[in-house]
Structure 1
Amino acid sequence: MTALAAVGTFVPADRVTIESYAEAFDLTPMQVRVFRRYHKLGTAARSTESLAGLLGLALADLALTAEQAARVRYVLYARTFPVVVPYPHNPLHDALAAAGLGHAQAFAVGQQACASGLLAIDLAGRLVRADGDGALAVVLTGEKTFTGEARFVVETSMFGEGAAACLVAASGDRDRLLSYVVRLRGEFDGDHDEVASEYQRIYHDALGEAVTAAVAKAGLGLDDVAVILPHNVNEMAWQRTCKRIGYPLDRVLLEHVADYGHVFCADAFINHRTAVERGLLRPGDRYVIAAAGAGRGATFSAMVFEH
């Protein structure tokens, strides 16, 4: 059974504010206030590190032993955007070489946009189970806000910079994957202006259905879920989703939304670190990681783990 053997994260100390975006994105004072008061988005994390540097800091925080590093056979880089640096740079391989993981087979996973992190965990588990000889995999997440589209989504979210690294094993005593549900919605593969309003209309129901389906697939009920570790798109989205499914909002870890912003595919794993450090997850607790991605279509997905 796929398990997270360790999680490493990096979130920089520097921040940008929603007010600093007003001129670049033609935001009115009212729109700025809506972001702060309604979406609960005020700042987003920023780093002077390169993308290779961000990924390297998450790998360093993973604190692999020499024995673990030697067993890492695959590295999956889960990302939101198809292109994250100008050609021909390859920050993934640069980061892996610096971390002593240059021997691993490395590739990117981005087909499900901001939900690609969960896809990468599933794929990593399948790969190491197929090898069956103690192989390990690393899932890397985190990107730079190098374009306007990668900094800000109008009326929705601010992207933050940071990174996370997960060590994935075929089995383990903690953070064992109990179920994975993914809903692909190909009808949203079209011009943004044409599909955006319908996407927003179905968003909360679709995300809620993915969460409840994953919980049911694990043989559990929502009352059995100790906490939901969300993607940090905005707080209002989670208020509405929780209302749809009848789950207490105070058991969704939302404290980083207003500070870090939406750290691409790294959100859930950064939230995992916080949940563990704050004692929100005790041995045996079941928890949900949920995410939605919009790009080439839409993806709504959820995983249930046992801590």
Structure 2
Amino acid sequence: MSVLRARVRGVGHYLPERVVENAEFEATLDTTDEWIRSRSGIERRHFAADGQTTSDLATRAAQAALDDAGMAAGDIDALIVATSTPDLTFPSAATMVQARLGMTGGFAFDIQAVCAGFVFALATANAMIVAGQAKSVMVIGAETFSRIMDWTDRATCVLFGDGAGALILEAGDGAGNAADRGILAADLNSDGRHRDILYVDGGVSTQTVGHLRMEGREVFRHAVEKLAATAHSALDRAGLGPDDVDWIVPHQANLRIIKATAQRMGVGMDRVVVTVADHGNTSAASIPLALSVAHARGQIAEGDLIVTEAIGGGLAWGSVVLRW
């Protein structure tokens, strides 16, 4: 029996021009390049320029994805931006991207699930396509986390960067089995009891701006446990196992988390896409950035089975299994 699948049609990304090496932090913080590398695997990250906003980055990534797909903005039915750092309280960053692309039809909205935002947005886009609500959906992860850093906190400010990645999903027919191209399964979770280990201590209703706060050891513990579990759950739903996976494309938060999660899944690092050294943690942008970079490198080929997984503040975590 034929079923609808949300297939990848195009992918793209954008990184701000300013590259910040670890050594730059040595002038203002009690830290070193070696300290940052050994604890995170991060060597450099990109920071947005003054006046450059999240929607600016998202628009550039979106246009790159359209170019890769050979599509025009008018071919897109829906546009979703996953971000925790929107330009304004409202309207959504997605509607700003919609306007800048010249997309006059369809609809656009934001999703906020912090670092897990892209996974949540991807699952939402898949549901809309399978339900017949849209035939083509642009899913973007975009962040300017440099705007919410406490530059006196060496434990957090060295970890994050800015960037955007975009993926275009398009409806296509499948046979309803694990050999189909497209999204095969998703697994989403959250647990608000763990809010205090990763959050921003400000917001609109509290009339404060706020900075990112994190209990690193607790986040690490939850991340390794929950990321491996959600990946296994999504694979089970798809009727697949770790041996079937060609590539894990994880949230690029910390190299130690990435390695520990892969080990728990029983997948070698030769099957894990890693970009954290060059980008740092770009929150909701990290998975689409990594997908786009891996595609450009020629790592990912049509028919490859990919698992994406991420965890962020909330706590919110989840995974998506798709065949490229």
Question: Which TM-score applies when normalising by structure 2?
Answer: 0.80
* 1:154 partnered with 2:155: yes
Q: Residues 213-244 of structure 1, C-alpha deviation per residue, up to 9 Å, x if partnerless?
A: 21222111211111111111011111222222
* Whole-angstrom CA distance in 1 between matches of 2:106 and 2:231: 33
* Aligned pairs (5 A) from 1:53-92: 53-63=56-66, 69-79=73-83, 81=84, 83-86=85-88, 91-92=93-94
Match of 1:140 in 2: 140
Q: Is the 8 A contact 1:3 1:172 kept in 2?
A: no
* 1:182 partnered with 2:199: no
Match of 2:109 in 1: 107
Q: Is the 8 A contact 1:188 1:199 kept in 2?
A: no
* Whole-angstrom CA distance in 1 between matches of 2:214 and 2:61: 38
Question: What amino acid is aligned across from residue 163 of structure 2 in structure 1?
Answer: G
* 1:240 partnered with 2:242: no
Aligned-residue RMSD, C-alpha? 3.0
SS at match of 1:243: helix
Tell me which of 12, 15, 18 is aligned to 1:11.
Answer: 15
Tell me which of 232, 236, 243 is aligned to 1:223.
Answer: 243
Q: Is the 8 A contact 1:93 1:102 kept in 2?
A: no
Q: Residues 149-206 of structure 1, C-alpha deviation per residue, up to 9 Å, x if partnerless?
A: 5998826962222212222223368850011112322320246589765443332111
Match of 2:201 in 1: none
Question: What amino acid is aligned across from residue 298 of structure 1 in structure 2?
Answer: L
Q: Is the 8 A contact 2:143 2:164 kept in 1?
A: yes
Q: Classify 1:152/1:260 alpha carbon distance in 2 versus 1 (closer, same or farther; 3 Å).
A: farther
Match of 1:38 in 2: 39
Q: Classify 1:150/1:245 alpha carbon distance in 2 versus 1 (closer, same or farther; 3 Å).
A: farther
Q: Is the 8 A contact 1:156 1:234 kept in 2?
A: no
SS at match of 1:131: coil
Q: Classify 1:23/1:91 alpha carbon distance in 2 versus 1 (closer, same or farther; 3 Å).
A: farther
Give 5+ residue unaligned stretches, structure 1.
none
Question: What amino acid is aligned across from residue 235 of structure 1 in structure 2?
Answer: L
Aligned-pair CA distance for 1:89: 7.2
Match of 2:123 in 1: 122
Give 5+ residue unaligned stretches, structure 2.
175-179, 199-212
Aligned-pair CA distance for 1:209: 0.9
Q: Is the 8 A contact 2:42 2:280 kept in 1?
A: yes
Aligned-pair CA distance for 1:130: 2.8
Match of 1:306 in 2: 323
Q: Classify 1:212/1:156 alpha carbon distance in 2 versus 1 (closer, same or farther; 3 Å).
A: farther
* Whole-angstrom CA distance in 2 between matches of 1:37 and 1:238: 14
Percent of counterpart pairs with the same letter?
A: 22
SS at match of 1:20: helix
Question: What amino acid is aligned across from residue 303 of structure 1 in structure 2?
Answer: V
* 1:52 partnered with 2:55: yes
Q: Classify 1:210/1:150 alpha carbon distance in 2 versus 1 (closer, same or farther; 3 Å).
A: farther
What is the aligned length? 297
Q: Classify 1:22/1:3 alpha carbon distance in 2 versus 1 (closer, same or farther; 3 Å).
A: same
